[in-house]
Structure 1
């Protein structure tokens, strides 16, 4: 008989891997830290074009991180997207001449993500189901299981909530031009919220399934 708890052990590492895990959180934080540190130091020293120096440092840090990720076997597409994201953020800051705009694309992305996750729940195509289904090789077979659909809908609200919390933190800091605190929030708060969402998603999903359900690996 398949244990009701068996899928938890099997699926949790997969979810963490999809999200990049601890190393992914560190990788994403490095260019942000480089940008803030270089901007703060050059601005305080009165060095001209502090944003250019900071943008260059962020892109350079992202390139180094990309090289390390490729060397350890990460998917080239994911590595390239991460590098392009940093380059785009740096380009926005250079274009506007405002250091806080380095975080603008991240804020817009959080808004869009919150909306997309919420809509996916309403239309009964919860994104968490698509992620887990792809990870487990099920594609969309889980959609034929009403219990799993309901479970993925419930668990997906944790991800909507974490994007809402990010915006509640980022928007006031952005409006107040708090570059340093934006960097701290991006490097610390965002990874923490992702980790919390991974932690919370599983019990929300599991408790939505009836006691006799074979688990997420076995849609019925």
Structure 2
């Protein structure tokens, strides 16, 4: 069967946008992110720290290779691999299983501080990142409701990272390594997904408002231009 011109274009246009879960790596992404942590805890419990460290790194490598073979998005796997590698290195240097979670704990605090600071200086990071990626400029900052929406979305992410730090730091100080692993998994993608719902709301709200404002401005400019043309076209008759 001969492919008709425009078929490919139509199929591309009709292809649905990826869902929030798909953007995060799908169900497999949720599972993959939990595997190295679970492997580390189990192997460390039965065979010791060194075996747990190498098993966690090995599982992260295996997941990356599996994604390559299955032609799945690599970004989550690569970022996950480096996260596991850094965590494993810290656990090795500290000689403690709970050290495996130390990097993530302090990273959460840094992220939380960055998001809060961006709100204080009126450059909410969600708005900055989204509009830089899409090349839409800084019109959103001049529209107060749009900036307020991005403030809310940025605050939602700040709360997620803040909660991660508080809970996991307490578990770390209390030497509850098993519960620390559970908290890292439970407070990972699930909380992040809830915050992303707020981000999606803010983005859509801002885009809708800015589009309406641009259309109103274009309409006003068109009306002004039409009025000027009418004015100049009537001058010879007045003479």
The TM-score bracket by the shorter chain reads: 0.7 to 0.9
Q: How many residues align?
A: 197
Task: Please report how far the alpha carbon of residue 119 of structure 1 lies from its aligned counterpart in structure 2 after TM superposition.
Answer: 1.2
- Supply the distance in 1 between the matched residues of 2:166 and 2:85 (Cα, whole angstroms): 25
Structure having the higher helix fraction is 2
- Supply the distance in 2 between the matched residues of 1:123 and 1:217 (Cα, whole angstroms): 26
- Supply the distance in 1 between the matched residues of 2:65 and 2:211 (Cα, whole angstroms): 35
The two structures, once aligned, show a CA RMSD in angstroms of 2.9
Say whether residues 1:23 and 2:28 are aligned partners: yes
- Supply the distance in 2 between the matched residues of 1:88 and 1:217 (Cα, whole angstroms): 43
**Distance of aligned partners of 1:144 and 1:161 in 2 relative to their CA distance in 1, 3 Å threshold:** closer
Match of 2:64 among 60, 63, 66: 66
- The structure with higher relative contact order (CA 8 Å, sep 6+) is 1
Q: Which runs of 5+ in 2 are unaligned?
A: 1-15, 215-239
CA contact under 8 A between 2:64 and 2:74: conserved in structure 1? no
- Supply the distance in 2 between the matched residues of 1:87 and 1:216 (Cα, whole angstroms): 43
Q: Which has the larger radius of gyration?
A: 2
- Supply the distance in 2 between the matched residues of 1:11 and 1:121 (Cα, whole angstroms): 30
What are the equivalent positions in structure 2 for 1:1-220 lying under 5 Å apart?
13=19, 19-42=24-47, 50-71=48-69, 72-75=71-74, 79-134=77-132, 137-146=134-143, 147-203=145-201, 205=202, 214-215=208-209, 220=214
Q: Which runs of 5+ in 1 are unaligned?
A: 1-9, 43-49
- Cα displacement string for residues 60-81 of structure 1 (whole angstroms, at most 9, x for unaligned residues): 01001111233324246x5433
Q: Normalising by structure 1, what TM-score?
A: 0.76
